[in-house]
Amino acid sequence: MKIMKQLLMMCLIINITPVSAMAISSLMLANADDQAGILTLDNTDNITYFLKTSVSKVEIKNNQIIKTPYTRKNLDRWQIATKPSKLVIEPNMVKDIQIESICGNKCDRTVDQVFQIHIQPVSYSNEGEEQSNISMLFGFAPYYIIPAKESKVEYQASYDGKNITAKNSGNTMLTLLIDQCKNNVQEESNKKPALCKTTFTLLAGRTRILHLPKELQRDNLDVIMLNHDETFKEEITLTQGE
């Protein structure tokens, strides 16, 4: 009887678990312009969503990611603000969230300024319309980065055959691009294409162990290092065990 109850509960969970039909334009947005950054939300669902936004400042301390939520208590230290902070997106509608810099000349642009934008649903009701809380089980938390005015790139990387250990000791984020698509022999059309490309993001001040999918593991690994706007681009070869 106990097993039957467990199976019944599992079936109920499967039946009520929604598939979110809300999409966002980016989960990692770097904006070096003085103009506001923009995140675009696209509601392809058949219900209306009411969303609220909030911001956390992201800092790297002792290789740990420290997130400090923006609240009224630290209002004097806010560097960015979202506009609007609350929005309603009706079915088949697209809306933008603008991210504006509000610190003026007080902004520190010697290093990347990193934030996380939390976009969360809240209950919403309208006359003649009822919305189940179950359908609100989604949320986004993209990173928003204001890059350093001048990129000073410093990094170290090693490779053990399965993982890359990468340290970003510079002042700006780096992207590690591994692209082996040109070297792969084209497979038969009825077969699923093999994984041949991947990217990793490394924030300034971070050391990460990056696990490579088996399809990309090589004795000698070609890696392209890029900054946010690709004004820095360097191709390196990592040798297993070095």
Residues 6+ apart with CB under 8 A from 33: none
Average pLDDT rounded to a whole number, residues 106-132? 79
- What are 36-77's pLDDT values in tens digits? 999 999 998 888 889 999 999 999 999 999 999 999 999 999
Q: Which pLDDT score, from 0 to 100, does residue 20 have?
A: 53
- Domains contained in the chain, CATH given: 20-146 (2.60.40.10), 155-239 (2.60.40)
pLDDT 10s digits, 177-221: 999 988 665 444 445 557 899 999 999 999 999 999 999 999 999
Q: What pLDDT score was predicted for residue 96?
A: 97
Cis peptide before 84 (omega within 30 of 0): yes
Q: Confidence band (pLDDT; 50, 70, 90) for 129?
A: low
pLDDT band at 9 (very low <50, low <70, confident <90, very high): very low
Query: What spatial distance separates the first Cα and last Cα of the chain, rounded to whole Å?
Result: 58
Long-range CB pairs of 213-219, under 8 A, 24+ apart, other chains included: 216/178, 216/180, 217/161, 217/162, 218/180, 219/161
How does the average pLDDT of the chain come out, rounded?
85
pLDDT computed for residue 21 by the predictor: 77
User: Residue 106: what pLDDT?
Assistant: 85
Relative to beta strand 163-168, strand 174-179 is unpaired
Q: Which two tokens stand for residue 139?
A: 């949320």
Residue 133: which pLDDT band, with cuts at 50, 70 and 90? very low
Q: Of 120, 116, 100, give the one whose Cα is nearest residue 38.
A: 100
Report which secondary-structure segment, H or E, holds 5: helix 2-16
